[in-house]
Amino acid sequence: MSTSNRPSGRVANQLRDVRFTRHFTKHAEGSVLVEFGETKVICTASIEDKVPGFLKGKGQGWLTAEYGMLPRSTHSRMDREAAKGKQSGRTQEIQRLIGRSLRAAFDLEAFGERTLHLDCDVIQADGGTRTASISGAMVAAYDAFAKMVAAGTITSIPVKQFVAAISVGVHDGQPVLDLDYLEDSNCDTDMNVVMEDSGKFIEVQGTAEGMAFDRSTLNSLLDLAQDGIAQIISEQKRVLGISA
Amino acid sequence: MSTSNRPSGRVANQLRDVRFTRHFTKHAEGSVLVEFGETKVICTASIEDKVPGFLKGKGQGWLTAEYGMLPRSTHSRMDREAAKGKQSGRTQEIQRLIGRSLRAAFDLEAFGERTLHLDCDVIQADGGTRTASISGAMVAAYDAFAKMVAAGTITSIPVKQFVAAISVGVHDGQPVLDLDYLEDSNCDTDMNVVMEDSGKFIEVQGTAEGMAFDRSTLNSLLDLAQDGIAQIISEQKRVLGISA
Amino acid sequence: MSTSNRPSGRVANQLRDVRFTRHFTKHAEGSVLVEFGETKVICTASIEDKVPGFLKGKGQGWLTAEYGMLPRSTHSRMDREAAKGKQSGRTQEIQRLIGRSLRAAFDLEAFGERTLHLDCDVIQADGGTRTASISGAMVAAYDAFAKMVAAGTITSIPVKQFVAAISVGVHDGQPVLDLDYLEDSNCDTDMNVVMEDSGKFIEVQGTAEGMAFDRSTLNSLLDLAQDGIAQIISEQKRVLGISA
Amino acid sequence: MSTSNRPSGRVANQLRDVRFTRHFTKHAEGSVLVEFGETKVICTASIEDKVPGFLKGKGQGWLTAEYGMLPRSTHSRMDREAAKGKQSGRTQEIQRLIGRSLRAAFDLEAFGERTLHLDCDVIQADGGTRTASISGAMVAAYDAFAKMVAAGTITSIPVKQFVAAISVGVHDGQPVLDLDYLEDSNCDTDMNVVMEDSGKFIEVQGTAEGMAFDRSTLNSLLDLAQDGIAQIISEQKRVLGISA
Amino acid sequence: MSTSNRPSGRVANQLRDVRFTRHFTKHAEGSVLVEFGETKVICTASIEDKVPGFLKGKGQGWLTAEYGMLPRSTHSRMDREAAKGKQSGRTQEIQRLIGRSLRAAFDLEAFGERTLHLDCDVIQADGGTRTASISGAMVAAYDAFAKMVAAGTITSIPVKQFVAAISVGVHDGQPVLDLDYLEDSNCDTDMNVVMEDSGKFIEVQGTAEGMAFDRSTLNSLLDLAQDGIAQIISEQKRVLGISA
Amino acid sequence: MSTSNRPSGRVANQLRDVRFTRHFTKHAEGSVLVEFGETKVICTASIEDKVPGFLKGKGQGWLTAEYGMLPRSTHSRMDREAAKGKQSGRTQEIQRLIGRSLRAAFDLEAFGERTLHLDCDVIQADGGTRTASISGAMVAAYDAFAKMVAAGTITSIPVKQFVAAISVGVHDGQPVLDLDYLEDSNCDTDMNVVMEDSGKFIEVQGTAEGMAFDRSTLNSLLDLAQDGIAQIISEQKRVLGISA
């Protein structure tokens, strides 16, 4: 994958700079600023000592996620969802995806009747906000559980697998990794992939925009995603001080 | 694929009975009752002579979809969304998927400044309501455009490709086609696939429930889906009197 | 009542074909498709094992109703109430009427702390949707209670009286029975009547549209309604296998 | 109708004191405090120089009504609808009735593209708030139109008929006129009647509460209502200085 | 303060006629019509035998306020908040202010686990509705507590201090007391002051409209307010029969 | 003001570290991270080329503000307003205050029919979020106007006065400047002051919490606020490169 027509000049299988800043804000049990290039998301993990009604008395925990964008995180200002009085379908779709992905990472039965709330708030958007959110929420959640271990509330971090996510797509006829906004607005296929560190898939969501895609394109995209996610998980572990 | 542990007794690559009843209700330009076994959805297509604000004056049309379930279409009664005052995240996710899928089927620039509204209302649910909705909406939309041709409003049906959808999943360790409710509630991976009659993909949405899935499982599932969708598109064309 | 100017060609005291199809969908305890000519409504009855807060601990049951129209059940497409985020005044008025009418049919103290939910969803509208809903809900509710008897949950069906409903109106100067949409849009007076099989009234709701009505017109309308409802109740009993 | 068991001591065909205080507040074009005994409602009529979208350019006017209750107009405090974020079904039902009734009183084609807004706000409730509202709104609307005549905006008051309303019911086995709260909470049948000064009906809304009612009871109730409404219309005209 | 340019002809430190009519409506435990000139507000105080969740089991009471305006209490008709489905920011700001002010007047720990609901509904607005509301609510609340004492529910009225409120502002360059609507729409600074009978402040809310104000103007305004509030508290006590 | 009992160890008239980081995010015309100690707010200024309806065609601009808190900007997690479907009264009160304050800073008639949207989003809260928001929004707005000047859209920055805000209060009996969360939760009086660089007031909002305050306390608080705001305005000008 030598040359590339990507607006960013990146080669096809090249991630943007991925950075996790832990302890970004001070109140949350876990708080991470995740950056995928110019995309910046604050991910916080908050522990609450109760579970939703449908789980009461079952002795297990719950994990849920919410997602938002600051009104001017985007190129032109979006209406504030709180002022409009409802979350868009896109917002709900994304926060459901984050929740499902992170529930795959942790053992819900191992932290008692507690809820872990993940809040992913985009402060600057440049494509890939949902995959950055999932990847950053993993680190924030890990930190929150580590704090519970340190406090003696639970005996070990209930992690089953590390999870991370990345987008891939077909840009200018070429499968590429980690679309930024410019690529995302001009791609034919857009796919978001969530994966475990085992290399297995949690979610695969591919959408043809403009032109349908065939099996071989799908395979190229999945190859790119698997490589990219492996790098992200490796960075997650590095900032958490976990040997791979 | 000889034997099977499917609750329904179906073999792994066997669809339920798929049936399209055209002209099911009398007011809509297109109206189809689609049945995937015991799953029954009324799909109507309505033509409106205007487009949303963002398309005004551009000389092209729009296509949009809404989805709903009758409160007692399900095993136990669900709250009515109109009474609760909002559509769930799941509902919005599904209606966005239906809309994207059907926009891939038709040429939006070929029917003037009009909107095609697709309404998919589930009257009986037994798994696969979103894939039945997409498959039925295709027939309803085709009928609505045919009516416009008959009325001389447009000169030909602006269809680009037929589209249909099916679910696949891993049940009891085995990849199977077209999950019914019983299978859906007990499967490890659940995937919805939307495809064109060319065999190319419009949407691939796979979710691990319980256990992550590997590339080879993913490939088996896509094989099943491609076969199933080809059969559904063939049935769509048959009821519309189109030779394949 | 020999000749008639009714668009339908019906004579003044003639009902449309009234048909009740039991067991129309499979999950609900009672499920009926009711047809008054081209008006078609799915009525389901669902049993829930609890009562609203204001009845808790009183040892009695409750019965409540909701009403909806599919967006394209009508001549031109209506906005979906779930998408708009609220039910119209008309919808609320109708579902309150259905609830009151059916509470008159059953003995609320005879089925324990349970709620019977009646859902009336119009799939095709041609006038008289509220009266068809009431008449169909009676059959669905009866079936649901019969199922409870069969299951040994209660010892007998807690029916006090059969109830049914019909519309009457003044069309082209003439009092007529069971208005269809064409008549309804052009009538001077519109009245909905709910009656017991004893011949007594549960509800009488007459509205002058265009021209006020006098006592003698009111009397003619009530005569028509009483005859019509008697026929509907007779049909309800026939399909339920009850000798009159 | 000599003796009576009415809690109020009134004889069966006796209205409560009915009083209209014109010019009750100073900003509205028409403003009336209407009292039916202890029931007190402020009715204002406001002229707006535009019509709803569906009437634009048709050269005619519109009349619409809204209804509300102060939270502590009732025996125990009700939640404020503005704080709950929605109007109850009962509120909507009542304001639709007021609107329909008053549209029957005035010639909508005779006051240009204007909207008359009627606001009926209950400050003290003791039964019969909707009938008091209709009766008071008639006077407020008349005053508002008179103001327009005085200003030379229109040449004559576009009144077709005077309208007023009253409730009747069966209390303790006896048909009675103008139910107060105590009677209303204990009656078997409750009927609201809206009538023109010609003696013809605009609305008849009878509801069995507890026990269904027969034709002869219905007739007695209508007799009572006709007498009562005639008295109220006579009082409306008196306060407006119109000779009967 | 001899001459004045006030539209009303009042001198700078002159209140409008302030009047409190107790027992204005019959159901509420306390009910007062308060008039500041042409501004008229119905203030009711309702006792409920429970407290909000955050106070349950703490053995103390709560006091809360709501505010509303009849749609035509104003010069031109405002939309009804209940119909719009939400309270404006202004409404919420005012009701929060009323609640805080009255909580300063009473000892919340001295009337058990009860909530005092204050409802302030403006029936005619001519400036100063929030200050009239606070001043009137004081009297209504006092009456409600007096009723509880009379009923033996509590042993003494839990009043700590009398509170009242007034607006002041700079009109035509001159600091003036108790702005009416005409003055309010044309003033440079608008300040609302809530004070105890001790002369101490509960709230001071000054806003520059058009032109910022300096310390010396602020001092003149506070002088005016202190005098005005003292007069209002004196009138509150007089109508309640309390010697100053 | 030598010694102090402030939890922070600050002396009574000591501000926290006040820092403005310009160009904090990349899309907005103005984007500032403002920090008052541990309180951190992102303030963005967005230019939109239209005005609200009430200003159309008047040739002038508008300025408006919105405020929000990330769910875990606070000690314990708050519900997300977008998910609840409405903004709290507190949120609305604050965003109205920010809007009024900034409208005092700029000449609305000097930048054409455009709207400046100010968004203040708290990412970490430690008391004083509204005063930090106002102070930061001033810098963001200035930057946005400077960008318009640079682009040649307007000829000069339409600033009339610099504005900034600070809180003051009585803590442990002592008037202190710039309350942090710990002080804010335990103070007797809480006052927010908005001032111009001329030293005149835009807003003074003082609230007694627990104990009413007298004139002399009020005066001490205003002295503190005037000093504090002067320092903040001086810092605003420094980061903007404006000589005082």
Tokens of B195: 């495809």
Q: Is B114 on the interface with C (CB under 8 A)?
A: no
Select from F200, F208, F218 the Cβ nearest to the Cβ of E212.
F200
Name the strands in the sheet holding B163-171, side by side, starting at the edge strand that comes first in the sequence: A174-177, A163-171, A187-196, A201-208, B201-208, B187-196, B163-171, B174-177
Contact assignment for B196 to A212 by CB distance below 8 Å: yes
Distances (CA, A) of E195 to B96, E97, F179: 56, 13, 24
Residue ranges of the binding site of F for phosphate: 90, 128-130
Tell me how crowded residue D53 is: count the other CB atoms within 10 A of its CB. 6
Contact assignment for D25 to E123 by CB distance below 8 Å: yes
- C96 annotated as ligand-binding: no
pLDDT of residue E209: 81
- A189 annotated as ligand-binding: no
Contact assignment for F83 to A80 by CB distance below 8 Å: no
Phi, psi of E48 (to 5 degrees): -120, 140
Task: Give the residue from B41, B50, B70 with the most C CB atoms within 10 Å of its CB, the best one to mutate.
Answer: B70
pLDDT of residue C244: 63
Q: Are B90 and B12 in contact (CB under 8 A)?
A: no
Tell me how crowded residue D160 is: count the other CB atoms within 10 A of its CB. 15
Q: In this prediction, what percent of chain A has a pLDDT beyond 70?
A: 98
Tokens of A30: 């876990």
Q: What angle do CA D166, D171, D174 make, to 5 degrees?
A: 95
One-letter amino acid of C93: E
Contact assignment for F208 to E200 by CB distance below 8 Å: yes
| Distance of residue E208 Cα from the nearest chain D Cα, in angstroms | 28
Residues of chain F in contact with residue E229, where contact means CB-CB under 8 angstroms, are none
Residues of chain D in contact with residue E124, where contact means CB-CB under 8 angstroms, are 25-27
Which residues lie closer than 8 Å to E193 by C-beta, 6 or more apart? E165, E166, E167, E168, E201, E203, E204, E205, E221, E222, E225, E226, E229
Residues of chain F in contact with residue E206, where contact means CB-CB under 8 angstroms, are 201, 203-205
Average pLDDT of C181-208? 94
Cα C206 from chain centroid (whole Å)? 16
- pLDDT tens profile F136-184: 999 999 999 999 999 999 999 999 999 999 999 999 899 999 999 999 8
pLDDT of residue D241: 96
- pLDDT tens profile F61-110: 999 999 999 999 999 999 999 999 999 999 999 999 999 999 999 999 99
Q: Which of D54, D152, D44 is nearest to D108 (CA)?
A: D54
pLDDT at F186 over 90: no
pLDDT tens over chain E, length 244 residues: 445 689 989 999 999 999 999 999 999 999 999 999 999 999 999 999 999 999 999 999 999 999 999 999 999 999 999 999 999 999 999 999 999 999 999 999 999 999 999 999 999 999 999 999 999 999 999 999 999 999 999 999 999 999 999 999 999 899 999 999 999 888 889 999 999 999 999 999 999 987 899 999 999 999 999 999 999 999 999 999 998 6
Weakly modelled stretches of chain B, pLDDT under 70: 1-4, 244
Contact assignment for A200 to B212 by CB distance below 8 Å: yes
SS3 of chain E: CCCCCCCCCCCCCCCCCEEEEECCCCCCCEEEEEEECCEEEEEEEEEECCCCHHHCCCCCCEEEEEEEECCCCCCCCCCCHHHHCCCCHHHHHHHHHHHHHHHCCECHHHCCCCEEEEEEEEEECCCCHHHHHHHHHHHHHHHHHHHHHHCCCCCCCCECCCEEEEEEEEECCEEEECCCHHHHCCEEEEEEEEEECCCCEEEEEEEECCCCECHHHHHHHHHHHHHHHHHHHHHHHHHHCCCC
pLDDT of residue E244: 62
Contact assignment for B213 to A200 by CB distance below 8 Å: yes
Residues of chain A in contact with residue B160, where contact means CB-CB under 8 angstroms, are none
Contact assignment for C80 to B73 by CB distance below 8 Å: no
The pLDDT confidence band at residue A185, using thresholds 50, 70 and 90, is: confident
Rounded to an integer, what distance in angstroms lies between the CA atom of residue C166 and that of residue C189?
14
Contact assignment for B38 to C27 by CB distance below 8 Å: no
Residues of chain B in contact with residue A222, where contact means CB-CB under 8 angstroms, are 215, 218
Contact assignment for F201 to E222 by CB distance below 8 Å: no
Which H or E element spans position D77?
none
Residues of chain E in contact with residue D83, where contact means CB-CB under 8 angstroms, are 66, 87
Select from F44, F74, F85 the Cβ nearest to the Cβ of A85.
F85
Tokens of F114: 């455009």
Q: Is E54 on the interface with F (CB under 8 A)?
A: no
> Which subunits have 3 or more CB–CB pairs within 8 Å of chain D?
C, E
| Distance of residue A49 Cα from the nearest chain F Cα, in angstroms | 12
Contact assignment for B207 to A202 by CB distance below 8 Å: yes
- Residue E199: which region, alpha, beta or left (left: phi > 0; alpha: psi -120 to 50)? left
Q: Which of A46, A42, A40, A48 is nearest to A27 (CA)?
A: A46
Task: Give the residue from A201, A221, A227 with the most B CB atoms within 10 Å of its CB, the best one to mutate.
Answer: A201
Residues of chain E in contact with residue F221, where contact means CB-CB under 8 angstroms, are none
Select from A86, A92, A201 the Cβ nearest to the Cβ of B213.
A201
One-letter amino acid of B41: V
Tokens of B199: 């065999």
pLDDT at C45 over 70: yes
- E173 annotated as ligand-binding: no
Rounded to an integer, what distance in angstroms lies between the CA atom of residue B8 and that of residue B19?
18
Task: Give the residue from A94, A196, A218 with the most B CB atoms within 10 Å of its CB, the best one to mutate.
Answer: A218
By CA distance, what is B200's nearest residue in A? A214
pLDDT of residue F3: 57
Q: Is F202 on the interface with E (CB under 8 A)?
A: yes
- The DSSP-derived string for F212-228 is -B-HHHHHHHHHHHHHH
Q: Which of C182, C187, C208, C196 is nearest to C237 (CA)?
A: C196
Rounded to an integer, what distance in angstroms lies between the CA atom of residue C100 and that of residue C121?
17
By CA distance, what is A108's nearest residue in B? B210
Q: Are D181 and D126 in contact (CB under 8 A)?
A: yes
Residue count (chain A):
244
Task: Give the residue from C23, C24, C26, C27 with the most B CB atoms within 10 Å of its CB, the best one to mutate.
Answer: C27
pLDDT of residue C5: 83
Contact assignment for A66 to F68 by CB distance below 8 Å: no
Rounded to an integer, what distance in angstroms lies between the CA atom of residue F234 and that of residue F229?
8
The pLDDT confidence band at residue C1, using thresholds 50, 70 and 90, is: very low
| Distance of residue F166 Cα from the nearest chain E Cα, in angstroms | 15
Q: Which of F87, F48, F65 is nearest to F163 (CA)?
A: F65
- pLDDT tens profile C76-96: 999 999 999 999 999 999 999
pLDDT of residue C210: 77
Q: Is E196 on the interface with F (CB under 8 A)?
A: yes
Average pLDDT of D17-23? 98
- pLDDT tens profile A147-172: 999 999 999 999 999 999 999 999 98
Select from D42, D71, D83 the Cβ nearest to the Cβ of E70.
D42
Q: Are E63 and E108 in contact (CB under 8 A)?
A: yes
| Distance of residue B71 Cα from the nearest chain A Cα, in angstroms | 20
Phi, psi of B205 (to 5 degrees): -130, 100
Residues of chain D in contact with residue E123, where contact means CB-CB under 8 angstroms, are 25, 42, 121, 123
Q: Are C114 and C49 in contact (CB under 8 A)?
A: yes
What is the crossing angle of helices D215-240 and C215-240, to 10°? 140
Residues of chain E in contact with residue F100, where contact means CB-CB under 8 angstroms, are 207
By CA distance, what is F124's nearest residue in A? A25
Q: Is C235 on the interface with B (CB under 8 A)?
A: no
- pLDDT tens profile F39-64: 999 999 999 999 999 999 999 999 99
Rounded to an integer, what distance in angstroms lies between the CA atom of residue D188 and that of residue C183?
34
Residues of chain E in contact with residue D74, where contact means CB-CB under 8 angstroms, are 27
